[in-house]
Chain A
Amino acid sequence: MEVTDMTAVELSAAIRDGQVTAVEAAEEMLARIEERDGIYNCYVTVDREGALAQARAVQEKIDAGELTGPLAGVPVAIKDNLCTEGLLTTCASRMLENFVPTYTAEAVMNLRRAGAVILGKTNMDEFAMGSTTETSAYGVTRNPWNPAHVPGGSSGGSAAAVAAGECCFALGSDTGGSIRQPAAYCGMVGMKPTYGTVSRYGLIAYGSSLDQIGPLTKDVTDCAAVLEAISSYDKKDSTSVKRQDTDFTSALVEDVQGLRIGIPNDYLGEGLDAEVRAAVLQAAEELARSGAVVERFDLSLVEYAIPAYYTIAAAEASSNLERFDGIKYGYRTKEYTGLHNMYKKSRSEGFGEEVKRRIMLGSFVLSSGYYDAYYLKALRVKALIKKAFDEAFAKYDVILGPVAPTTAPRLGESLADPIKMYLGDIYTIAVNLAGLPGISLPCGKDRNGLPIGLQLIGDCFQEKKLIRAAYTYEKSRGPFGIGPGTEKQDGRTGGIPS
């Protein structure tokens, strides 16, 4: 098997067995990037020299028996909103076109400790605001299953890089579905852990109370292994939670006997594509055949999640993005007269449309006289949504539904109608509002061969139930294949607008 086709667990085993070295693995990945990234544009920055140097150092430790874990020597791609010391970190924004962090995000540090080799930084929607990776200042990323389609977003570069074999796995961040939805569009496995499980230190914040870092992988086994590596209690993040149960790989068990699974009727209603609906319900049947108890129920309040989410996330974003002012780092306008003018021009020129739209929306809902009517009301809705999930989890171990209403849209279709784009987040955002874990994994393809994602949602700290259910389903489903691992391998056929 080619290195580029292997999962992280497979590759690390091959490196341990001496079939391939960490340096060879990195070289093969870099060659794949060279070959394909011109088409897919998964990366903003590729750190060839750095990756090879890391690979050499890691190989020495593997040889010395100091590194034995499932990520040792495995090449990884990091979403470009995670700080990496000495390596450009842009958030896919012109605003940070020259920003080189002085420190590394805790989650990335955890990967480095596990021996993963960082290939580079992946493309994304600017500051993680978007669902298609089209709002990047560094060009769109294309879906490896069909380059005429988006990879989803905001972690689109990470999902596409895994699907295109341009890395073995990747890190993304999920504020309203930004890991799970691109995983679904690219036929990969993506997980947003319980809020507080992975340290946010070094993650350039979008919506601080909703952001979580998580893995994008080729299968559920890798997902568990990566999550196990990146989870840690971190004193530098006040919202970090001390957990004793982060041995997630122990949940890779093929057994759902008696597992109670609920499907919200609200997640199967209007707006859901028929093919997606059918594939998701078929996956539920598969789980039922494996011994799970599957039921339909009413979750309620689903329609209020989107306005609550866009109010809270935009409010936090408007404040989080204030530090980008052209003074300390990042983009500064060329000509200006006085301080106020410099702020105004730097921010007008440095931020893209979608970011500016959300800053304005967020500033509005926090402004004096509107705070109670919008922001506080949204917080109350958030509390009610959490309560609705609490009630559901009294009856069910896992909630099952689609990740997104459709498969990956064509490039250019989404940005024209932002409201429609926001509505596409309907099945993912409630999970962030309630701080719950959610996993996305492929459960079929539509008539055009584009992947369909299945979402499993668990109660807080119940990732293991999700991993067990997802692993069991994955086994019964059989191999799904990664992106262009088919006849369209070079991706140059059709579909790409010139």
Chain B
Amino acid sequence: MSKQYETVIGLEVHVELATKTKIFCGCSTTFGAAPNTQTCPVCSGMPGSLPVLNRKVLEYAIAVGLATNCEITRYAKFDRKNYFYPDNPQNYQISQLYLPICRNGWVEIETKKGGLKRVGIHEIHMEEDAGKLIHDEWEDCSLVDYNRSGVPLIEIVSKPDMRSAEEVIAYLEKLRLLIQYLGASDCKLQEGSMRADVNLSVREVGAKQLGTRTEMKNLNSFKAISRAIAGETERQIDLIEAGERVIQETRRWDDTKGESYAMRSKEDAQDYRYFPDPDLVPVAVSDEMLKKIRAAQPEFRNEKMQRYREEFGIPDYDIEIITESKHMADIFEAATAICGQPKKVSNWLMGETLRLMKERETDAEDLRFSPEHLAKLIWLADKKLITGSVAKEVFEVMFEENVDPERYVEEMGLKTVNDEDSLRKTIAEVIAANPQSVADYRSGKEKAIGFLVGQTMKAMKGKADPAAVNQILREEIVK
């Protein structure tokens, strides 16, 4: 390859909003219900049914727009996008084309070199999700589940401002954090509550014009996005180097094979015959509404990090990890507010929590233990009511089931035994059972005491205070 190429990337990101009900009807948005149990005449496209906008969707869309420095359209409209497919019960999707709710925004991302870069946002629009098709191989037929039909989405369309997979991921992370902080969505790529389509073209470094782009779909993880960007960049460069042209088309990424294939080209692209939906009245955003949403904007990550530095005196590294998830930051703040020990709370999050998350392959958003329980666990350990090892054991159960640590310790009989008589009794048994180690210690091998402490703790099932064990052991052996 003699020439130097540059990759130009723009993103279309769909985010499923965390409303209780669907965008145009009162059906629940809860995931995982039996097929077609969360449907009504509206979201199953029955004749004569009419859509009514869920105001919460509008509020979330505006909140995301404000967080991404967009202009908010004060007189927005919904349009119908017409296409036939069985997952789309009306055979048109209610979306926004002509007057989307947000336009001309930007977010700042950190580049690899440590600098800051702005990624422009072309627009954000509101729309409804489609149902789900299930192909029944056994019966050789297709079935459709409309539970997801009408679940609210926003589509965030960036400008073609990104130049690498790193920038794309930084941009997605940024969006994810902003939206999670707003509580507008949990933004899970794997579960599809955040979906990214990558528009990519290549051009020679220094060229002014953009190359022909392709759109890549079916990217379910950051890793898949990175691989798809690398793969597509290479494919396009190869085409150009071979003197062929890149065709404007939609391609589907197969992450297991590590390659993409064309779904449809622009030539046979559908004409969606967009027009304003006459069943919905235009959306007028009043000054008052805008003011209210602006006032309700949460503290975003940068502000939060600054405040943590000033308020809590915990290491920068901890702050970075904790604020990476709004949910974890919420746990941190609430637990700290109760126990007043930010460092200890942070230690639990940075230590055991991260370890278990890694082990169980779960997300910070899925943390289930309550801040009250974490504070109580810290209190139990502080009061030496449980030993450090018991605390870890209890935490693991809290991590799984959010049990009340106090009650759990009580029920399982895990309280530290401070009764000296029973401790001396156990120690006497340990000494009797390990004459060799006792002899070693007596002959000056200091290390042997460690083994004996271990044996005692084991016999006490960890419920003894190791310092007390150590002391009594020495006394007993010297006797």
Contacts and interface: CB of A to CB of B under 8 A. Distances in A.
A166 B275 CA distance: 42
A51 interface: no
B91 A367 contact: no
Contacts, number: 96
B41 A367 contact: no
Contacts of A368: 271, 273
A412 B180 CA distance: 65
B44 interface: yes
A238 interface: yes
B136 to A, nearest CB: 15
Given A201-B50, A343-B84, A328 B275 contact: no
Given A319-B275, A366-B273, A238 B52 contact: yes
A328 B45 contact: yes
Q: Which of A103, A327, A371 has the most chain B CB within a 10 Å cutoff?
A: A327
B211 interface: no
B48 interface: yes
Contacts of B281: 238-239
Contacts of B92: 319, 322
B152 interface: no
Interface stretch (A58-66, A203-211, A242-250, A297-305): A203-211
B263 interface: no
A208 B47 contact: no
B89 interface: yes
A316 B278 contact: yes
Contact of B279 (A96, A103, A238, A329): A238
B370 interface: no
Interface in A193-217: 200-205, 207-209
Interface string B217-232: 0000000000000000
Given A239-B281, A366-B275, A367-B271, A319 B80 contact: yes
A371 B275 contact: yes
A344 B399 CA distance: 55
A364 B89 CA distance: 22
B86 interface: yes
A339 interface: yes
A323 B280 CA distance: 18
B279 A208 contact: yes
A201 B273 contact: no
Nearest to B270: A368
Contact of B91 (A103, A235, A325): A325
The A interface, classified by DSSP as helix, strand, loop or mixed, is: loop
Nearest to A210: B278
Contacts of B48: 81-83, 101, 105, 200-205
A367 B273 contact: yes
B248 interface: no
Interface in B40-54: 41, 44-53
Contacts of A327: 86, 144
A375 interface: yes
A89 B48 CA distance: 11
Contacts of A329: 46-47
B233 interface: no
B429 to A, nearest CB: 75
B47 A238 contact: no
B90 interface: yes
B82 interface: yes
Contacts of A448: none
A101 B46 contact: yes
A375 B89 CA distance: 25
A323 B90 CA distance: 4
Nearest to B87: A327
Nearest to A82: B48
Nearest to A375: B275
A241 to B, nearest CB: 10
A363 B273 contact: yes
Interface residues of B, number: 28
A315 interface: yes
Interface string B40-77: 01001111111111000000000000000000000000
Q: Which of A82, A102, A239, A328 has the most chain B CB within a 10 Å cutoff?
A: A328
A237 interface: yes
A56 B279 CA distance: 38
A318 B275 CA distance: 11
Interface string B86-114: 10011110000000000000000000000
A99 interface: yes
Contacts of B52: 235-238
Nearest to A239: B281
The B interface, classified by DSSP as helix, strand, loop or mixed, is: loop
B86 A315 contact: no
Given A96-B47, A200-B50, A238-B51, A325 B84 contact: yes
A209 B278 contact: yes
Interface string A306-341: 000000000110110011110111000000000100
Interface in B270-296: 271, 273-275, 278-281
B21 to A, nearest CB: 13
A201 B50 CA distance: 6
Contacts of A315: 275
Contacts of B279: 205, 208, 238-239
Interface in A93-143: 96, 99, 101-103, 105
B273 A99 contact: no
Contacts of A82: 48
A322 B82 contact: yes
Contacts of B90: 322-323
A343 B85 CA distance: 10
Contacts of B91: 322-323, 325
Q: Which of A235, A322, A375 has the most chain B CB within a 10 Å cutoff?
A: A322
A237 B275 contact: no
Contacts of A102: 41, 46
B95 to A, nearest CB: 13
A202 B279 CA distance: 13
A322 to B, nearest CB: 4
A123 B94 CA distance: 32
A117 to B, nearest CB: 22
Contacts of A99: 47
B273 A103 contact: no
Contacts of B278: 207-209, 239, 316
Contacts of A366: 82, 273-275
Interface string A170-207: 00000000000000000000000000000011111101
Contacts of A318: 82, 273
Nearest to A207: B278
A81 B467 CA distance: 85
Interface string B7-48: 000000000000000000000000000000000010011111
Interface in A236-268: 236-239
Q: Which of B44, B47, B48 has the most chain A CB within a 10 Å cutoff?
A: B47
B237 to A, nearest CB: 32
Contacts of B274: 366, 371
Contact of B50 (A238, A319, A323, A325): A238
Contacts of A319: 80, 82, 92, 273, 275
Nearest to B275: A366
Contacts of B82: 318-319, 322, 366
B315 to A, nearest CB: 53
Given A96-B47, A343-B84, 6 more contacts: A201-B48, A235-B52, A322-B82, A322-B91, A325-B91, A371-B275
17 contacts: A81-B48, A89-B47, A200-B50, A205-B47, A235-B52, A238-B50, A239-B278, A239-B281, A323-B90, A325-B84, A327-B144, A328-B89, A329-B46, A339-B86, A366-B274, A367-B273, A371-B273
Interface of A: 81-83, 89, 91, 96, 99, 101-103, 105, 200-205, 207-209, 235-239, 315-316, 318-319, 322-325, 327-329, 339, 343, 363, 366-368, 371, 375
Q: Which 6 residue pairs across A and B have the least CB separation, nearest first?
A: A322-B91, A209-B278, A366-B273, A208-B278, A204-B47, A202-B48
